[in-house]
Each structure stands twice: as structure tokens, then as C-alpha cells.
Structure 1
Amino acid sequence: MSDPELEKILREKVRSIKEMSKKVEQEGPLTLTFNNFYDIINSEKPVIIDFWAEWCAPCMTMLPVFEKLAKKYDGKMVFGRLNVDENGEISNRYQVFSIPTFIIFVKGKPVDIVVGAVGERNLEKTITKHVE
């Protein structure tokens, strides 16, 4: 593969990530899967991922909080949700052993973590450390 081909692929990938970020801003938290997880965490904006499961009562308690914060920080941070039962490889990679777990990524790297149903104030306190 030549350098121009690589540059074209890279430009297309960057465009795709920007489009996904816009979609998240318009629609609230994005449903993440193995197919889009790594693209999303490499967003230009900070990203917070809610690692959750359907059977998890504390996860369901935090869902309206997460959705509210997604609206409040729309355009400043990307919000996504990853079902750990359907994406075990990713949750294992990031050592998610308790849920809900919220991991903040900056340029693809985990920079902060919150574990448990901590409530709106505590989750927002962590979010504000990473938004401009």
C-alpha cells in the first residue's frame, strides 16, 4: 500500500469518527459494540462509556442520570453505553468487574473511572474534570 492510499484511509476514518461524534451529540448516548467501540473512544472529544447490563438494577438506576448528563454536556463530551454481556472481550480488556462502571477516555486512553451507582453529583464531578 502506498502512502497516498494510507492517507486516504486515514482521512476517511477521521471523517467517520467526526460523523459519529455529531450523531452522538444529536441523539444522546450511543449504543456501542465491538464494531464501533474503538472508533468512538478515539474521538476528538473526551468520551465517557457506561459499562452496563440489562439485569443490573444499579445500572438501570444510573441510566436516567447518564442520559441527563449526556444532554447537559452535549457537544463537550461523547457519551456511550456498552453492554458487558454482549461485549465481554472489551469489558475484560478494561478490567470491568463491577457494574455500572464509567470510564472516561481521552484520545483512546482511559484517564478516569467511576464504579457503582454513585449518583448524579459524583458522576458529574468526574465529568467536569475532563471537559473544557
Structure 2
Amino acid sequence: MKGNFKELVNAEIPLLVDFYAVWCGPCKAQAPIIKELAKEVEGKVRIIKIDIDKNQAVAQRYNIKGVPTLALFKGGAIVWRQSGVQSKTQLLQVINQNM
């Protein structure tokens, strides 16, 4: 994984993590939504994607059972988490509620 995950999670700026797998159909549907979202929240929220097959220790630490699972971290803690494809509207709402 690029960078230090612990550092990103504990950073000042909130972190949205997209836990995904290459073989996952719904994850492929989530990807363009995340890309669009990233443009809108640039500078306010950091967004990273974590492949659960390549980063099994992180996936296990956060008990990721299904993909896609999205988690919003703030100050080192998960403030929101949801499995399944999320719309941009839903994600913007969650981000705005947790700023």
C-alpha cells in the first residue's frame, strides 16, 4: 500500500476509504462515483482505494466482509461505514455531516 495508512487515518483531514476487490462487479460500479466525488471534495476530504486482496491485514483489522465497503475516518476513528454501492449524493451527505 502506498503511504502509511495509519498516518492517513490520523491526519487532520477526513479520509474516505473505498475497500474494494478487482473481481467485484459492484466495486466497478462504485469507482466512477468515487472519481466524481473526489473532484467535488478535493481539499476537504482525502479519498483512497484499498484492494482487500492485496491488503488483507488492513481488511482484517477493520473487519471488511463485503465489498465495496466505504468508511469515513476522522481523527483516527471510523465515523461512518457502509457496505454496498453508495450514490454520490449519499456520500456527500455523509461527508458534510462529519466535517
**Normalised TM-score (structure 2):** 0.92
1:91 matches 2:91: no
Residue from 89, 96, 102 that aligns with 2:70: 102
User: 2:46 is matched with which residue: 74, 78, 81?
Assistant: 78
Spell out the pairing of 1:6-17 with structure 2 (5 A cutoff): none
Counterpart CA distance in 1 for 2:2 and 2:64 is 15
Matching residue of 1:42: 10
Query: C-alpha displacement at 1:118, in angstroms?
Result: 2.4
Task: Determine the structure 2 residue equivalent to 1:117.
Answer: 85
Partner deviation per Cα, 1:41-69 (whole Å, 9 max, x = no partner): 11111110000010011001010100111
Q: Which runs of 5+ in 2 are unaligned?
A: none
Deviations 1:3-43 (A, max 9, x none): xxxxxxxxxxxxxxxxxxxxxxxxxxxxxx27521111111
Q: Which structure shows the higher strand fraction?
A: 2
Q: Secondary structure at the match of 2:72?
A: strand
TM-score (norm 1): 0.70
> How large is the Cα RMSD of the aligned pairs?
1.3
| Partner amino acid, structure 2, of 1:56 | C
Bigger Rg, structure 1 or 2: 1
Higher RCO, 1 vs 2 (CA within 8 Å, ≥6 residues apart): 2
Q: Which amino acid is 2:93 matched to?
A: K
